[in-house]
Amino acid sequence: MYNNKMIAVVVPAFNEEKQIGHVLKNMPDFVDRIVVINDCSTDKTREVVLEFINDDRKKRGKKIDPKQKKITQNIYNAADIILQKAQEGELKFFPASKIINEHPETDRIILIDQLQNYGNGKAIARGYKWAQDHDIDCTVVMDGDGQMDPSEMESIIQPIIEEGVDYVKGNRLIHRSAWLVIPQIRYFGNSILSILTKIASGYWHISDAQCGYTAISIRALRAIRIYKIFKSYGWPNDMLIKLNIAFCTIKEVEIKPVYQVGEKSKMKIYKVIPTVSWLLFKSFFRRLWIKYFFRDFHPLFLLYNFSFLLGLICMPYAYKVFQSFVHNYKLSLETLFAFSFLSITSFQSLLFAMWMDILDNERLHK
């Protein structure tokens, strides 16, 4: 426990037999539960985790399992009871999995096997579900490849435990060694996706969107549909959008970038950037409609859409202007006026909408 709060760590693992032992061995003592999600590994990841489970059981003995708090029904809390029943039935929306432990009620390390390889995001979502069902106050994500320093976990969970923040992300890019340690192609790709994530998510102060070293409160876990988290490496971006729609507060803390510790990256930058970019494009419009139209109408919804509408109307005129430069012919005054008016008005509307977006989401940044 940490300040009388239950702490769990979700460890997604796919073919991490060489690294997973190091991660488990160096887990801080204040961590109550370690939930390893074996994403259908083809190596000995499963066997290594089982050895740690047996050794830890002998060392620690039995622990009391936190149970989900049942709500006592009264005339005022029908909505709470409906939500609790919905949460209990959500497991059917997750990919098929199986808890391997013989004594899951008392083991500190829990091993859950995914019956198929579903991807990093789905593995983390399954771990989140376990933490949600067991009323864990704060749940950390730490990859099984050893690229996240366990000694920095305390700084990541503190804002949730002591300040009431809903979601905390590690930020490697503000560490003074970032440019020297992070491979340049990854630094460049991360920077692009971080800019796009700012716009799509509404968390404009986030600068390391791809960092998976995170902590989330139980309140935030209950505020989103975790079974809909993006299945692959775009899950950190998707989480931010879902949390913003749910009006969850967020904070970034500085962590060191860790590379060349024996990990073998499974992420292909040239595949990830297009995939995540498309995810962010779709999610941006979903955030606008859900958060700023259906849940809480805001003028920025009109300004954003007005800007896009004028931009579309402007495109034929922009094509004519481009053609005039290529083929060196004069444009009519009407075409020039229409292009200038539409492009300038569209750009101004976009800037005003982004400015309002920044101001409105300032309250969510801690």
Query: Both 216 and 318 in a single domain?
Result: no
The stretch 4-15 carries a mean pLDDT of: 96
Q: Please give the single-letter amino acid code of residue 52.
A: F
Tell me the Ramachandran region of residue 352: left when phi exceeds 0, alpha when psi lies from -120 to 50, beta otherwise: alpha
Q: How confident is the prediction for the chain on average, in pLDDT? A: 91
Query: Both 213 and 275 in a single domain?
Result: yes
Among candidate residues 252, 269, 294, the one where a domain is terminated: 294
Residue with tokens 């489970």: 53
**Predicted confidence band of residue 49 (pLDDT cuts 50, 70, 90):** very high
In a domain, 1, yes or no: no
Counting residues of the chain whose pLDDT is more than 70, the rounded percentage is 94
Query: Both 304 and 279 in a single domain?
Result: no
pTM (2 d.p.): 0.91
Among candidate residues 243, 268, 294, the one where a domain is terminated: 294
What are the pLDDT digits (tens) for 329-365?
888 999 999 999 999 999 999 999 999 999 999 999 9
In a domain, 45, yes or no: yes
Query: Both 283 and 316 in a single domain?
Result: no
What are the pLDDT digits (tens) for 257-266?
988 665 565 5
**What's the pLDDT at 45?**
96
Among candidate residues 245, 268, 294, the one where a domain is terminated: 294
The beta-strand segments (E) located in the chain are: 7-13, 33-38, 97-99, 109-114, 138-141, 167-171, 214-217, 250-254
Closest listed residue to residue 239, CA positions, set 147, 154, 121: 121
Query: Both 155 and 75 in a single domain?
Result: yes
Instruction: Provide φ and ψ at 167, rounded to 5°.
Output: -145, 130
**Predicted confidence band of residue 67 (pLDDT cuts 50, 70, 90):** low
DSSP strand pairing (97-99 vs 109-114): antiparallel
What are the pLDDT digits (tens) for 170-191?
999 999 898 888 888 888 888 8
**What's the pLDDT at 58?**
82
Q: How far apart are CA 199 and CA 72, in angstroms?
A: 42
Query: Both 100 and 64 in a single domain?
Result: yes
Which has the higher per-residue pLDDT, 102 or 245? 245
Question: Containing domain of residue 235, as a range?
Answer: 7-294
Counting residues of the chain whose pLDDT is more than 90, the rounded percentage is 75
In a domain, 184, yes or no: yes
Q: Please give the single-letter amino acid code of residue 316.
A: P
Query: Both 225 and 80 in a single domain?
Result: yes
**What's the pLDDT at 66?**
54
* Structural domain total, the chain: 2
The stretch 59-88 carries a mean pLDDT of: 75
Q: What is the CATH number of the domain that holds 246?
A: 3.90.550.10
**What's the pLDDT at 57?**
85
In a domain, 171, yes or no: yes
Above 70 in pLDDT, residue 55? yes
In a domain, 2, yes or no: no
**What's the pLDDT at 81?**
86
**What's the pLDDT at 71?**
73
Query: Both 38 and 161 in a single domain?
Result: yes
Q: How far apart are CA 20 and CA 12, in angstroms?
A: 10
Above 70 in pLDDT, residue 207? yes
